[in-house]
Amino acid sequence: MKENTTLKVGSNEMELVDFRIFKQEDEEVYEGIYGVNVAKVREIIRVPSLTELPGVPEFIEGIFDLRGVVIPVVNLASWMGVKVPEDAGKNARVIIAEFNNVLIGFIVHEARRIRRINWKDIEPASFVSGGDGFDGSKITGVTRIEDDAVLLILDLEAVVQDLGLYKPNTGDIPQDLDTFEGLVLLLDDSSTARKIVKDALEKMGFDVVEASDGRDGLEKLDDIYAMYEDGISKHLKLIISDIEMPLMDGFHFAANVKEDGRFKNIPIVFNSSISDHFSEMRGKDAGAEAYLVKFDANLFYGEVARVVRAHMK
């Protein structure tokens, strides 16, 4: 499955795979409605024959070979700790997700459709308390769909990190790397991701201004401009932005920045878990100087230094 390339840079829209997890409580069956960004979905397949692995948690169903790549498969309902109806598996599918250059399979009870949703209609998940075996930090946002139902956007990266299937490379700064001065504006809705990137930037000598989404990022830019006015480019050296953020995504944010004469010359680097080629192309179309996949310290330090040096010339 590939992302629909008709999505325009700056449109502030995303496409979600709508999938369902069923839960039984007493005699009632409840339908959990979830979504994941299409850009992170390689394909959706029927449940293949799996090879079980000894000594792993029960929610890891096993592994299988997909065209020469061995892929672990996680049963989402099992991980959530829910009791499922007996017939829940009749339409089961495996969503093959790719992020941070890692492929993982997730068993869901149904994969319904692809939805196109505007980021402004996605609310932060700060009020989601979680339940069903996972906490609200595994939900990146919520949005209303038909019949006033609520769709929860699942943070599959957080799930995978919890399972120990992926760990970011947060290595030390290279000893031969020059240190820098000035500000970096950092946008990411994940406080955990912001901390990793902020720590890396501070090791490079930068001061960091944080924002939780694109709308907040534009407000922070206005604040920085009020402080430095036309001398802003001498102080604000770089903008680093995530892509998936509620209210305003990174592409839409970048389009706004590049259309604003005050900020158009400030370089932008995207730092995202989305590792597909179309998103990288959209990042370049949005005016970014680099597109990084979270989080490889060696690549991060090198690319940030390269972009900042080029901007200083």
83-92, 112-121, 129-138: least confident range: 129-138
* Cα distances (Å, whole numbers) of residue 192 to 138, 195, 306: 12, 5, 25
pLDDT band of residue 3 (cuts 50, 70, 90) is: very low
| Closest to 95 (Cα-Cα) out of 42, 163, 152 | 42
Q: How far apart are the first and last CA of the chain?
A: 42
* Residues 82, 97: Cα–Cα separation, whole Å: 22
Q: Which amino acid is at 226?
A: A
* Residues 310, 313: Cα–Cα separation, whole Å: 6
> What pLDDT does residue 126 have?
65
Percent of the chain with pLDDT over 90: 61
Quickly list DSSP for 96-109: EEEETTEEEEEEES
Per DSSP bridges, beta strands 69-75 and 60-66 are antiparallel
> What pLDDT does residue 9 have?
59
Q: What is the pTM of this model?
A: 0.81
Report pLDDT digits (tens) over 259-310. 999 999 999 999 998 888 888 898 989 999 999 998 888 899 999 999 999 9
User: CB under 8 Å to 111, separation ≥6 — which residues?
Assistant: 17, 18, 19, 44, 93, 95
Report pLDDT digits (tens) over 15-31. 999 999 999 988 899 99
Choice between 112 and 159, residue whose per-residue pLDDT is larger:
112
SS3 state of residue 89: helix
> What pLDDT does residue 303 have?
95
Question: Over 90: is that where the pLDDT of 155 sits?
Answer: no
Q: Which amino acid is at 238?
A: L
Question: What domains are there in the chain, each with its CATH number?
Answer: 13-163 (2.40.50.180), 183-312 (3.40.50.2300)
List alpha helices for the chain, DSSP H: 76-80, 156-163, 191-203, 214-228, 232-235, 250-259, 277-285, 297-312
Average pLDDT score over residue span 218-228: 98
Are 99 and 36 a contacting pair, CB within 8 Å?
A: no
Are 154 and 108 a contacting pair, CB within 8 Å?
A: no
Question: Over 60: is that where the pLDDT of 100 sits?
Answer: yes
| Closest to 95 (Cα-Cα) out of 109, 78, 115, 116 | 109
User: CB under 8 Å to 139, separation ≥6 — which residues?
Assistant: 125, 128, 130, 152, 153, 154, 155
Report pLDDT digits (tens) over 49-68. 999 999 888 889 999 999 99
